[in-house]
Amino acid sequence: MPDRGGGPTGPRMRVGRPSRRVRTLLMTLGVLAVLGMAFTMFAGFWTDWLWYRSVNYSSVFTTTLWTKIGLFFVFGLLMAVAVGVNIWLAHRLRPPLSAMSMEQQNLDRYRMSIAPYKKWLLLGITSLVGLIAGASASGQWRTWLMWVNGVSFGQKDPQFKLDVSFYAFDLPWYRFLLGFGFAAAILSVIAAALTHYLYGGLRVTSPGARATAAATGHLSVLIGIFVALKAVAYWLDRYGLAVKSSDFRATDNWTGLRYVDANAYLPAKTILFCIAVICALLFFATLWRRTWQLPVIGFGLMVLSAILIGGLYPAIVQKFQVQPNEQAKEAPYVEKNLEATRKAYGIDGTKVTDYTGTSTTEDKTRLRDDVDATASIRIMDPNIVSPTFQQLQQIRNYYAFPNNLDVDRYAKDGKEQDTVIGLRELNLAGIPKKNWINNHFRYTHGFGVVAAEGTSADAQGRPNFTESDLPSEGDLGTYEQRIYYGEKTDTYSIVGGPQKEIDYSDDNGEKTTSYKGDSGVNLSNPVNRAAYAVAFGEPQILYSGAIGEGSRILYNRTPKERVEAVAPWLTIDGDAYPAVVDGRIQWIVDAYTTTNGYPYSSRTTLGDTTADSLTATNDNRAVVAQQNQVNYIRNSVKATVDAYTGEVKLFQWDTKDPVLKTWMKAFPDTVEPKSDISKSLMDHLRYPQDLFKVQRELLTRYHVKDATTFLSGSEVWQVPDDPTNRSGNAVPPYYLSMKMPDQKAQAFSLTTTFTPNGRDNLSAFMAVDAEAGTSDYGKIRILKLPTNTTVNGPKQVQSQFNSQEDIAESIRLLRGGDSEVEYGNLLTVPLDGGLLYVEPVYVRGGGLKYPLLRKVLVTYGGQTAFENTLDEALNKVFGAEGATPEPPEEGDTPPPPTSENPTVQQALEDAQKAFDAGQEALKENDWEAYGRAQEDLEDALQRAEDAQAEASRGGGGAGGGESKPSGSPSPKPSS
């Protein structure tokens, strides 16, 4: 550096200059840092490739990768060329040097400073904008693949008569191209204007002309291109009206043209298109006229037209034509929306039938036998009994069940029955000693299926297990019980090498095993080990002696993760469920194809419509796609994930879905035909809950077919809140084998209820046939209750349960001590014109911290029962046996109580004794004695309930109305 003055003129001081050794060290560190970053990027790429190859879906990885790379380079290069050429052209068109103004003298310093680096500066700017544009374009790989592989829907929109594929596949790509064009035009104008200003083509404060003729022509052409693109935008906006969403009649995301769109916005867009074309031509004409006068006038006219024609005119039409007669004006467009929405969500075949809501049979005893034929009422709630499975079947702390179990169907004695099922999955939080070897080498898998009858419980209120113990034994036969892939398996494991895995433990001690499957990635290769050590941030993978010949690393182990990875174009259902199929445990995953480009179909937000009381309170039940908005959905794919090998299979389920056909063209040979689904797998497929929840939300408004009723809003329903908890979220749908009035036999179904908007009484009951492989699969039936009478809804039924005096007293007794009462699923079953409600009641507390079935609530036709078993409750409600006499009419003299009637006091004392006996039995681990004590406790509580009811009817006497003496022990019913 030259001396800038002021210092000594002696020898130059070498202050701050690093030595050669330091420079070499710094250079070495820099090279190592670059190599480290490069290897980190390589590790991410290489491990992804290895994983996709291990699951035999490498074509998905390569297709996605090459599509992203192609879009990155094509659009990055286009943007770089557009900006670079305009900078170069502006520099080439710079005016010759002349007498400089003060402004130009100031700019000259900048011109001189960048003169030696002009080429590098141009390369840097174009590279930067190219990288940004390329990265943005690579994110549009789905849009590109859908456009280039698009399949016709065979349906045309009612306004423009274009195939739906234009809106679903073509229009999104055209809009991307248009957005890219706008970005390129704007960046080119900015870059060219700055270059012209730097080299004197544009002047701000200098005297004379503000722009040279060359600069004027150059910039006017660029602005003309921008205005021409605006003309294209106006033209595409015409078609965009068919998929435009708006709030209409309190309906969020109402989609499609309305009267003002068709009669004001549509012609306005056409007029603005013509004006924009003329304005663009005026800008291009400056190449010859060399004046801005006409283009500026034209641009001003376009802006004014956009305000008057595109904004003010539609507002006038809405105010003075639509509002005075809205129903007549909007009706034709509402009908188009109704038809399109029902088709897009697969609810156009919904059968709505009027239902009285009251029984027509006077002799209710005849209905008792009809109950069993109408429904297999499930009293084991899969959302309640998971802790019971955990306590009774966990066996070891390093196993766990999901918070929500699943409902499936399995044959027993030649008859299918609803079954509650869960897998004993690995729980790393419960292993005895946590370290890297234990976490990833020794404790690697869960073990076995646990299943129980859905319609019964044993004498102690525990599930009747049909598959249990470790190893699991029961009705499911022989199958591979090791579970390496599951919903709770969220970390990697290294298996198959020199380190043995803990298989399970029994009375003879720990059993060990070594993984025999071909899943995962082989770690024998040192490059693979290094890549995974970097990718997982775990250096021990590189040098650990526990990894050797045959070692394989398993990761991405939840069913949802695996299906999402091999089919990134699918939307995955929030609840995968297990099934034993052909000697294997298979996770079954429902997957959806969606689009938000179906014309006239109203949009819905998947995260909102699939949320309910279960997703709000349980971490393993997820909502779908969070904030994704769609207006078309199909359950087009059924996927399976093998719990042992992790093998993923995708089966085409909806053979008519054009969106799936489009993706199958983009990713050939990834989806297997529907005919490949085996009979044994078909037996376990079911209608998915999340699709049902989306459809039921749409059907709160779109169950009507005529525009007049829709516009009046008189038939709007709502999904009721779950009455069994205080989450304030929607009641979840329930799987249940039942028979709708028009069906001849029971079918596995998914059911829900509706209430009027803002009210609690019942307005409709909905069920869909969930039995895969049958002709009625997916058929939606709605029983519509009359609007001129009131039928109790779920919340009212629950309130009725809680407020009935004898039931409230029994609940209070069940809550004695530290016990807690938990209400199970409130099931609704149509029966003989009326509605049967059934709700199991569980108790947890005392020495046991898991719920056991204690009571069953049943109501029908105004009769309510709260009994120990479902049969007893049904018998009481229908008067089949032990019917309770009607309460006396007002003014009647109540009969005197009999001396044989047991007193509440005596019953409570017996309950206390039974409870104490049960606690002693628990301490001694005497389960037989504990069971007898529980039976005695139930009997005492029932006698207390009966005595209280008798006292209420008799007004006292025989001790029936006695209160418990002060200081006497309170019974503490155990669960």
Which pLDDT value is given to residue 963? Answer: 36
- Residue 74 pLDDT greater than 90, yes or no: yes
pLDDT digits (tens, 9 = 90+) for 674-685: 999 999 999 999
- Residue 213 pLDDT greater than 70, yes or no: yes
Question: What is the DSSP code (8-state) at residue 284?
Answer: H
- Strand-pair partners of 656: none
- 139 token code pair: 């994110």
Which pLDDT value is given to residue 547? Answer: 92
Q: How confident is the model at residue 3 (pLDDT cuts 50, 70, 90)?
A: very low
Question: What is the DSSP code (8-state) at residue 661?
Answer: H
- 230 token code pair: 């605006």
Which pLDDT value is given to residue 836? Answer: 93
pLDDT digits (tens, 9 = 90+) for 661-673: 999 999 999 999 9
Q: What is the DSSP string of 194-206?
A: HHHHHTTSB-SSS
Determine if residue 959 is left, alpha or beta; phi over 0 gives left, psi from -120 to 50 gives alpha, anything else beta: left
- Residue 532 pLDDT greater than 80, yes or no: yes
Which pLDDT value is given to residue 906? Answer: 72
Which pLDDT value is given to residue 924? Answer: 62
- 182 token code pair: 């706008």
pLDDT digits (tens, 9 = 90+) for 104-140: 667 777 777 777 888 888 899 999 999 999 999 999 9
- Strand-pair partners of 860: 863
- Residue 103 pLDDT greater than 80, yes or no: no
109-113 contact pairs (CB < 8 A, 24+)? 110/198, 111/198, 111/199
pLDDT digits (tens, 9 = 90+) for 15-55: 456 677 777 878 888 888 888 788 788 888 999 999 999 99
Q: Which residues contact 334 (CB under 8 A, 6 or more apart)?
A: 707, 710, 711
Please tell me the pTM assigned to this model: 0.84
Which pLDDT value is given to residue 922? Answer: 60
SS3 letters across 874-886: HHHHHCCCCCCCC
Which pLDDT value is given to residue 969? Answer: 34
Question: What is the DSSP code (8-state) at residue 743?
Answer: -
Which pLDDT value is given to residue 656? Answer: 94
For residues 234 and 272, the answer to whether their CB atoms sit within 8 Å is: yes
User: Span 210-227, mean pLDDT?
Assistant: 88
For residues 455 and 478, the answer to whether their CB atoms sit within 8 Å is: no
User: Span 687-698, mean pLDDT?
Assistant: 94
Report how far residue 468's alpha carbon sits from residue 684's, in angstroms, rounded to the nearest whole number: 20
User: Span 725-749, mean pLDDT?
Assistant: 88
Q: How confident is the model at residue 964 (pLDDT cuts 50, 70, 90)?
A: very low
Task: Determine how many CB atoms are found less than 10 A away from the CB of residue 325.
Answer: 10
pLDDT digits (tens, 9 = 90+) for 345-394: 999 999 999 999 888 887 778 888 889 889 999 999 998 999 999 999 98
Q: How confident is the model at residue 618 (pLDDT cuts 50, 70, 90)?
A: low
Q: How confident is the model at residue 100 (pLDDT cuts 50, 70, 90)?
A: low
Distance of CA 674 to CAs 588, 639, 655, 748, Å?
Answer: 15, 11, 8, 21
Q: How confident is the model at residue 416 (pLDDT cuts 50, 70, 90)?
A: confident
What is the enclosing helix (H) or strand (E) of 695? helix 689-702
- 135 token code pair: 């990265």
Phi, psi of 455 (to 5 degrees): -105, 10
Alpha helix positions (H), 536-678:
540-543, 559-566, 606-609, 613-617, 658-666
Q: How confident is the model at residue 591 (pLDDT cuts 50, 70, 90)?
A: very high
pLDDT digits (tens, 9 = 90+) for 782-815: 999 998 888 888 888 888 888 888 888 888 888 8
Range picked from 279-288, 474-483, 501-510, 861-870 for highest mean pLDDT: 474-483
Report how far residue 367's alpha carbon sits from residue 833's, in angstroms, rounded to the nearest whole number: 11
Rounded to 5 degrees, what angle do the CA atoms 891, 895, 899 make? 155
- 763 token code pair: 């307005």
Which pLDDT value is given to residue 800? Answer: 83
**Among all chains, which residue has been given the structure tokens 């999402």?**
564
- 622 token code pair: 């997820």
- 31 token code pair: 């090279």
Which pLDDT value is given to residue 730? Answer: 87
Which pLDDT value is given to residue 894? Answer: 41
User: Span 75-95, mean pLDDT?
Assistant: 93
Say which residue, 897 or 561, is predicted with more confidence. Answer: 561
- 669 token code pair: 């040979």
Local structure of 828: helix, strand or coil: strand
Question: Nearest CA to 206 among 92, 71, 83, 101?
Answer: 101
**Residue type at 536 in one-letter notation:** F
Mean residue pLDDT across the chain = 85
Distance of CA 462 to CAs 84, 238, 389, 393, Å?
Answer: 76, 63, 9, 12
Burial letters 474-485, b for 16+ CB under 10 A, else e: bbbeebebbbbb
For residues 747 and 737, the answer to whether their CB atoms sit within 8 Å is: yes
**Residue type at 325 in one-letter notation:** N
HSE of 372, CA atoms in CB hemisphere, 13 A:
7
Which pLDDT value is given to residue 973? Answer: 35
Report how far residue 766's alpha carbon sits from residue 754's, in angstroms, rounded to the nearest whole number: 8
